[in-house]
Amino acid sequence: MNFISTVIDWINKDTKGLYESRLQAVVIRCTSMISIVYYVFLAILFLINEQWLLGLYDIAGSTVLMYAVFLTYNKRVKQSFWIYNLAMMFLVVFQIVYLGWGIGAQYSLFLLIIVSMFTTYYTPVFKFLVALFYAVLFCILYLYVQFHMPYVVFLNNIDYFISIITIIHSFGCLVVAGFYFSAKSMGMEKKLVEYNKNLERLAFFDPLTGLYNRRQTLTFINKQVSALEKMETGAFTVVISDIDFFKKVNDVYGHDCGDIVLKEVARILKKTVDKRGLASRWGGEEFLMIFPGADKDTVVGHVESLIDTIRKMEINYNGYVIKLTMSFGVCQYEKGMTADEVIKNADVNLYEAKKTGRDRVVY
C-alpha cells in the first residue's frame, strides 16, 4: 500500500512551471506509464520472435515516452505534450503498417484527440484542427490496410494475443484520461456552483444573520406594491423592529455577544414569519418583516406573540444570562401608497413605540 501511495503521489506531483497545466502533466504521466509498460512488453515479445525491427522500434518509442514524462517534472509540460503526441502517433502508424488493422493500435488516436482537446495551451480552433488531423489519419490508415498486407504475420495465434493487450492498452489509457479530465470538469463545475451560491448569498442575504438583506427586501416590497396597484383589493403589512438598548449589550458584553444576540433574534423572527412572508435585517439591530396578503390586525397578533417570546428568551454568554425586549412598528399598505411610504409609516410607528416605553408594538 505504501508503494502504491508513493506512485500515486509521484504521478500527481505538481508541475514546477508557473503557468503550466498540472492536469495535462498528470494525464501524460499516467497514459505514458501505461504505454511504456505495453510497448516494453511488446518489444520483448517481438525480440523473442526475432522481429528485431519491431522490438527496437517499440524500445525507442518507450524511451521517447519516458523522456516526455521526465519533461513534465522539469517545467516543460507544453514540450512534453508534443513529444508525447508525436511518439504515440508514430508508434500507432508503425504498428498498423507492420501488423495490420486487426491489432487495434488505431484506437490510441482517440486518446490523442482527447488529450489534445483538453490542453490549456491552444485555442479551440487549433484543437479542432489537431482533432481533424487525427481523424483524417485514422481514415488514411484504414484505406491503407485495404490495399496493403501487413509486413509481419505471427503464427500460433500470437497476433490475437497482441490484439487483446493492444485494445486493453488503448481503452485503459482512454479510461485514465477520461477519469482525470471528467473529475477536473466535475470539480470545476462544483466550484462554480458553490461560487454562484456564494454570490447569491452575498446578493440576497445578510452574512451574519442569514436573513434577506436590505436591497432584496426593497425589491420584494416594490413587487408587492406593483402587484397590488393592478388589483382592486389586496393588502400586505410591513413590520419594522428594533432591539431595545442593543448598544448596551455591545458595550457591556462585547461585539461577539452582540452578534450572538442578532443571530438568535433573527432565528426567532424567521420562525415567526415562517412561510407567511419575508424576514430581513434592515440595518444594525433593526429588522423588517413583510406579510403579503395579511392585514394589520392579523400581523399585530403575530407581533404581540413575538414580543412575549422575545421577553421570555434568555441568552447565555460566558456565564451571563442576557434578556432582551424589542419594539415594533406596523404599517399596512393602502392603495396609492409607495413602497417608501409604507416603510416610512412603519418606521414612524417604531419610533413611537420607542418613545412610549419600548417592549411594545405601535400600529
Question: Sign of the CA dihedral 136, 62, 98, 158?
Answer: negative
**The model's pTM:** 0.56
Same domain, 220 and 193: no
- pLDDT at residue number 196: 67
Residue 208 domain flag = no
Same domain, 68 and 171: yes
Same domain, 248 and 339: yes
- pLDDT at residue number 358: 95
Same domain, 101 and 128: yes
Query: Per residue in 117-162, pLDDT tens?
Result: 888 778 889 999 999 999 999 999 999 999 999 888 877 788 888 8
- The residue behind cell 413575538 is 306
Sheet holding 361-362, edge to edge: 278-283, 286-292, 236-243, 326-332, 361-362
Same domain, 184 and 245: no
Residue 32 domain flag = yes
Residues in the chain predicted with pLDDT less than 50, given as ranges, are: 18
Closest alpha carbon to 255 in 266, 246, 268, 264: 246
Determine whether 20 is an active site residue.
no
Under 8 Å between Cβ of 177 and 35: no
DSSP state of 207: T
d(CA 3, CA 175) in angstroms, rounded, equals 22
- In whole angstroms, how far apart are CA 229 and each of 17, 236, 295? 63, 12, 16
**How many structural domains is the chain composed of?**
2
Q: Quote the domain boundaries for residue 221.
A: 214-362
Residue 197 domain flag = yes
d(CA 19, CA 75) in angstroms, rounded, equals 9
Secondary structure in 3-state letters for 115-134? HHHCCCCCCHHHHHHHHHHH
- pLDDT at residue number 76: 81
Secondary structure in 3-state letters for 307-322? HHHHHHCEEEECCEEE
**Which among 50, 285, 304, 314 is annotated as catalytic?**
285
- pLDDT at residue number 161: 87
Residue 206 domain flag = no
Residue 185 domain flag = yes
Q: Where are the beta strands (DSSP E) in 40-199?
A: none
Kindly report the CATH number assigned to the domain that includes residue 337. 3.30.70.270
Same domain, 245 and 352: yes
Same domain, 104 and 54: yes
**Which cell goes with 14?**
505538481
DSSP state of 74: T
d(CA 210, CA 282) in angstroms, rounded, equals 12
Same domain, 48 and 175: yes
d(CA 338, CA 335) in angstroms, rounded, equals 9
